[in-house]
C-alpha cells in the first residue's frame, strides 16, 4: 500500500518558503527567542546574544508585558495578539513574541537587503505567523537610499538622495495593509519614528487599544533637523498619551524631562516611549 503523508492542520502549515540566501557569512545563535541566524559582521547584536542569549532584555520584558490581545480571534475562538514589528532587523523581537504568544499574528518590517532576507528565513524557520515586509515605512510612497554603520546593521537609516549603494521602497503602512489592526506596535527606525506614525494613523484609529513602543533618540532626530520637543508635541497632537520606559519602569514624565534624560546620557542617549490613545476619538 502506498503511504501518503496526511495534510498538516491549517494552523501548523508554514507559509511559502522565502528565497535562499547568498551573501555575507551568517552564524546561527541560540537565544531565548529560539535559533537566530545573523550576519557575522554585526559586532553589536551578534556578540551580545552569543554571550548572553538575549538582546535588550528590558525592552523584551516590556514588549511581553504589553502584548495583550484585543479583538482578533483564531479558528477556535481564542483571542490572539497582533503585532507590528517596525525595524525588525533579523527578527529577534518578532520571534520572542511569537514564542511567548503562540498564534500571534506579526507583521515584521525591515528594509535592509541583507537583514530583511535573513529575517524572512528566521521567520519561516520558526513556523510562527510572522509576515516579513522588505520595505521602509514612511509618511509617503517613494524610493529611499539606505546607509548602514559598518559593524552595526541595526543602525540602518533612510535618506532621500541621488546616489545610493542600497535602495528601498518606502510607503505608508496604511497603503500597504489597509485593513491592519494591531494590539502592539514596536518602532525602532533610527530617528524616523515620526514618519512611520504619520503613515499609520488609519491603522491606529481602527485598532481598539493599541500600545506603541517607540524609540526616542534626540540626537538622531536632530541629525534630521527635527526638534525632539516638537516631535513629542506632534505625538500628543495625534491624540497619543506618552510615558517613558526608564530604568525598567514605565513612568509619566513631561516632555522636557524625557528629552533631558536622553541628553544627559550623551549622544546615544535614548528611551522607549510607551504611547496609547489618550482619547480614542482624537486619533486622526
105-109 and 184-187 strand pairing: unpaired
Q: What is the pLDDT of residue 3?
A: 53
Q: What is the pLDDT of residue 284?
A: 38
Q: What is the pLDDT of residue 91?
A: 98
Q: What is the pLDDT of residue 154?
A: 63
Q: Alpha-carbon distance 17 to 236, whole Å?
A: 41
**pTM, two decimal places:** 0.89
Residues in CB range of 185: below 8 A, 6 or more apart: 83, 84, 86, 200, 204, 210, 211, 212, 213, 214
Please list the pLDDT of the chain residue by residue as tens digits (284 residues): 455 555 544 445 667 899 999 999 999 999 999 999 999 999 999 999 999 999 999 999 999 999 988 766 666 777 789 999 999 999 999 999 999 999 999 999 999 999 999 999 999 999 999 999 999 999 999 998 877 777 666 677 766 667 778 888 999 999 999 999 999 999 999 899 999 999 999 999 999 999 999 999 999 999 999 999 999 999 999 999 999 999 899 999 999 999 999 999 999 999 999 999 986 444 43
Q: What is the pLDDT of residue 9?
A: 47
Q: Which domains does the chain have, with CATH numbers?
A: 56-282 (3.40.50.150)
167-171 and 136-137 strand pairing: parallel
Q: What is the pLDDT of residue 213?
A: 98
Q: Alpha-carbon distance 18 to 191, whole Å?
A: 29
Q: Alpha-carbon distance 196 to 171, whole Å?
A: 9
Give the dihedral sign, CA 174/175/179/180: negative
Q: Alpha-carbon distance 235 to 142, whole Å?
A: 23
Q: How many residues does the chain have?
A: 284
Amino acid at each position: 500500500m502506498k503511504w501518503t503523508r496526511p495534510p498538516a492542520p491549517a494552523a501548523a502549515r508554514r507559509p511559502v518558503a522565502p528565497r535562499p540566501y547568498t551573501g555575507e557569512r551568517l552564524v546561527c545563535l541560540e537565544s531565548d527567542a529560539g535559533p537566530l541566524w545573523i550576519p557575522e559582521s554585526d559586532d553589536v547584536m551578534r556578540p551580545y546574544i552569543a554571550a548572553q542569549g538575549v538582546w535588550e532584555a528590558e525592552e523584551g520584558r516590556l514588549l511581553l508585558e504589553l502584548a495583550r490581545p484585543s479583538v482578533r480571534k483564531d479558528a477556535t475562538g481564542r483571542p490572539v495578539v497582533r503585532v507590528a514589528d517596525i525595524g525588525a532587523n533579523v527578527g529577534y523581537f518578532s520571534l520572542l513574541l511569537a514564542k511567548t504568544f503562540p498564534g500571534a499574528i506579526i507583521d515584521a518590517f525591515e528594509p535592509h537587503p541583507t537583514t530583511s532576507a535573513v529575517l524572512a528565513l528566521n521567520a519561516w524557520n520558526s513556523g510562527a505567523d510572522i509576515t516579513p515586509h522588505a520595505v521602509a515605512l514612511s509618511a509617503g510612497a517613494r524610493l529611499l537610499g539606505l546607509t548602514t554603520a559598518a559593524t552595526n546593521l541595526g543602525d540602518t537609516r533612510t535618506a532621500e538622495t541621488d546616489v545610493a549603494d542600497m535602495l528601498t521602497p518606502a510607503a505608508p503602512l496604511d497603503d500597504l495593509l489597509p485593513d491592519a489592526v494591531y494590539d502592539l506596535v514596536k518602532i525602532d527606525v533610527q530617528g524616523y519614528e515620526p514618519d512611520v506614525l504619520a503613515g499609520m494613523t488609519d491603522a491606529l484609529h481602527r485598532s481598539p487599544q493599541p500600545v506603541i513602543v517607540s524609540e526616542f533618540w534626540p540626537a538622531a532626530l536632530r541629525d534630521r533637523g527635527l526638534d525632539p520637543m516638537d516631535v513629542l508635541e506632534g505625538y500628543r497632537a495625534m491624540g497619543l498619551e506618552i510615558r517613558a520606559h526608564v530604568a525598567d519602569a514605565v513612568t509619566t514624565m513631561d516632555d522636557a524631562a524625557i528629552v533631558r534624560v536622553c541628553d544627559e546620557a550623551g549622544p546615544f542617549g535614548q528611551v522607549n516611549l510607551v504611547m496609547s490613545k489618550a482619547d480614542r476619538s482624537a486619533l486622526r
